[in-house]
Structure 1
Amino acid sequence: MVTMDTRFWTGFLCLLSTVSVIYSLKIGAFNINSLTGSKLKTHPGLLDIYVKIMSRYDIAVIEEVMDTKGINDILQALNSHGGGPYALQLSGRLGGPGFEEYFAFLYRTDHVSVRKIYQYPDTHDYFEHEPFAILFHTTHAAIHDFAIAAVHIRSRDTVSEMNHLVDVYDSLKSHFGNENILFAGDLNADCFGLSLASLHKNLFYTDHRFHWLILSTEDTIVSGISSCAYDRFVVAGSEFLGAVVPFSAKSFHYDFEYRLNYRESHSVSDHYPIEMELR
């Protein structure tokens, strides 16, 4: 015989089991401003701040990684300080002799796994730093398979490089067999990099497939005198867009959060990380 109490607790336990499989993923992107091993060594406390920032995210896209030592130091500190387990995936060395960098992905291996990696083959030399993308799999979000492309657009070629991100999307979509792709990084899409009028005429902005999650009113640079939305998230794919937690895309002002003065903040980076959440 099933009593009312039995039915209640059976239903309650079923509800708990349902709640227990509801997860979320947090994604960050950070132009870290010339990260090297020597930078960490000469700025005491900087490594701890980077670990605090990176541990906020299940996937972190990092630009301006200038050597492999600094980012591996961050990875080791993340895992040794109990924030992990994290793994690292690096692009090749990108750019010309004047400014070469790696793109880095730090990601929690207990929340996401890597399915495919793709370095965009820039045969026409559209980009100074060719976008680098990873196809991820997860069971911790409403969407299970999606790609993220790391982007760092050259400021003097913002219009041209941004226009060609449409070509990058088509290439990624074909390679991964998946339309759900997030472009993340420093697009130089404001202020000195791009006027609002030019942005609204750009192919990457006007193409209806792309949805800009960071508004031009957001401040993504560490400056006491100006406010610019250089760093952006741009998402394509209805499934990906539907998984984004509304209004979760924003910049993370670590100076305010960690009570840093301007000099301390600027030693971390001249950019704030941007972040978003998937339900």
Structure 2
Amino acid sequence: MLFLHGVLLLASFHGIQSLKICSFNVRTFGKSKVAKEGILDVLVRIISRCDLLLMMEIKDSRNQAFPILMKRLNNQSNRNEYKSIISERLGRQTYKEQYAFIYRHKLLSVKRSYQYPDDQTDVFAREPFVVWFSSPFTTVKDFVIIPQHTSPESSVSEINALYDVYTEMKARWRAKVLVNCFLNGLVTMMIGL
């Protein structure tokens, strides 16, 4: 049910500073999931293991569930150590979901974000939400994450189209790029370009 992956080690000049970067398909996260007993506590424990977490499949048209999760996460230790950035609602017709990045703001900051446009070709079931992160504690000071939650029917064409996203982001921003591609539970791959 829950999927967690990825540890990216970025070496610092003062030893090794590792950033735990995770990706998590929360499977239809909304009001009903928040209302279930114990679910928020499990989510908070999972997120707390990560310095940066990509959450996929947030389906909450009124934007009520995600703020509840963030409040619970930050109240767990009374330190308010997490911030987030969330995409607009993405998808075709009535099926819409969001990506969210949750990160420890003492280790990372968001420099920029970009919602890749849904053009005439409509290749992506859910367009990538591109975020440029910065960390003063790692050798790689800046990196960009391009999440993609593909549709099972079009995953090959969506993955191929990520090259266009990558080239556009290289032209737009100067940063190391990490493509994080989640293939709807079938395969996961991290590609450093």
Judge same fold: TM > 0.5, yes or no: yes
* Contact kept? 1:63, 1:185, Cα under 8 Å: no
Structure with greater strand share of residues: 2
Which residue of 160, 168, 180 maps to 1:163? 160
1:185–1:37 Cα change, 3 Å: farther
Structure 1 segments unaligned to the other structure (5+ residues): 1-17, 189-220, 222-228, 237-279
Q: Distance in 2 between matches of 1:181 and 1:69?
A: 32
- Determine the structure 1 residue equivalent to 2:7: none
CA deviation string 1:147-176 (max 9, x = no partner) = 111211111011111111111110111121
Which residue of 134, 140, 144 maps to 2:141? 144
* Conserved 8 A contact 1:149-1:184: yes
Alignment gaps of 5+ in structure 2: 1-12
Higher helix proportion (structure 1 or 2): 1
Deviations 1:39-92 (A, max 9, x none): 111x21110000000011111111100112222222111110027411111111
Q: 2:76 aligns with which of 81, 105, 109?
A: 81
Structure 1 residue 146: Cα displacement: 0.5
- Which residue in 2 is equivalent to 1:40? 34
**In the alignment, is the contact (CA less than 8 A) between 1:30 and 1:185 conserved in 2?**
no
Instruction: Tell whether 2:57 aligns with 1:100.
Output: no
SS in 2 for 1:103: strand
CA distance in structure 2 between the partners assigned to 1:79 and 1:161 by the alignment: 35
Would you say 1:29 and 2:23 are equivalent positions? Answer: yes
Ranked by relative contact order (alpha carbons within 8 Å, sequence separation 6 or more), the top structure is: 1
Percent identity of the aligned residues?
34
* Aligned-pair CA distance for 1:97: 2.3
1:164-213 Cα deviation digits (max 9, x unpaired)? 111111011112122x212224224xxxxxxxxxxxxxxxxxxxxxxxxx
- Work out the CA distance in 2 between the residues paired with 1:112 and 1:161: 29
For residues 83-104 of structure 1, what are the alpha-carbon distances to aligned partners after superposition, in whole Å with 9 as ceiling and x for unaligned?
7411111111100124210110
How much is the aligned-residue C-alpha RMSD, in angstroms? 1.7
Structure 1 residues 186 and 47, CA gap change in structure 2 (3 angstroms): same
Distance 2:27 2:189 in 1: 16
Aligned to 1:127: 124
Provide the residue aligned with 1:61 in structure 2.
54
Aligned to 1:183: 179
Normalising to structure 1: TM-score of the pair? 0.60
